[in-house]
Chain A
């Protein structure tokens, strides 16, 4: 039988790290999505204006 204090110490430690990794991955996914959206937004008018300029 594992000592309950020993079990709790290891369980809480790993829980803290797992929750932090989960939080990091959520923030990373959100930022990545936001970055993709903005990059798309920034490239759209640019490509539209260059296509207008290239017309004779």
Chain B
């Protein structure tokens, strides 16, 4: 893995993608007619939301693998993804109200989409709290895997909320039926921005996974030292 795709190449690609995305957001995408330039928040808000949902899908799959196979890597992948996904979900909850205020005149409303996204953020928080505050690591891994599986229900309902119910949040612009759609330049900008966010997500995930593996190595060495001390 390291030989095929070194982290330095990953970093360079991420920076390049972010640079292209920023160029497209501010210089290529046309200004939206009713909201004006504040609509450009869309190009970070939506990709961050998609990436936060993607994060929980990874947690869901790796939690199932952990519960089924007891794979340590699956557990480390889930816990690392939870941390990185939490950052993206926080970004969604910060950019959302900053867009809502000029567009709707209010910072927040408890409609289905917003509430379910807030619930997703709380699930990330619950996952990380369980991971960090439970003393027994095996118990923490089990409980976190259960949260990862049950929490996935929220991901599905959150994704479908604007399709099932009429909400204050805008209806889907992609895959939302015959009346949905975007200007081709806006669509291209959105997709490039999402690709950049996905690159950034996996870059952060790789670094965070490295930390988890380093922590495991430390635990192993401590065991060896404790064993030697008990022998002496």
Q: What is A's interface to B at a CB cutoff of 8 Å?
A: 2-3, 5-6, 8-10, 12-13, 16-17, 20-21, 24, 27-28, 31-32, 34-35, 38-39, 41-42, 45
Contact = CB atoms under 8 A, between A and B. Distances in A.
Nearest to A46: B228
The dominant DSSP class at the B interface is helix
Contacts, number: 73
Contacts of B48: 13
B98 A8 contact: yes
What bracket does the count of chain B residues touching chain A fall in? 20 to 34
Contacts of B45: 9
Given A9-B44, A9-B95, 20 more contacts: A3-B36, A5-B41, A5-B98, A6-B41, A12-B91, A12-B95, A13-B48, A16-B87, A16-B91, A17-B91, A20-B87, A24-B204, A24-B207, A28-B210, A34-B218, A38-B218, A41-B225, A42-B221, A42-B224, A42-B225
Given A9-B98, A12-B95, A27-B211, A38 B225 contact: yes
B221 A39 contact: yes
Contacts of A34: 218
Contacts of B228: 45
A33 B36 CA distance: 51
Contacts of A3: 36-38, 102
B40 interface: yes
Contacts of B102: 3, 5
18 contacts: A3-B102, A5-B38, A5-B98, A6-B40, A9-B41, A9-B99, A12-B94, A12-B95, A13-B91, A16-B90, A17-B91, A17-B200, A20-B204, A28-B210, A31-B211, A31-B215, A32-B214, A42-B225
Contact of B95 (A13, A17, A39): A13
B225 A9 contact: no
A9 B200 CA distance: 18
Interface in B102-129: 102
Contacts of A27: 211
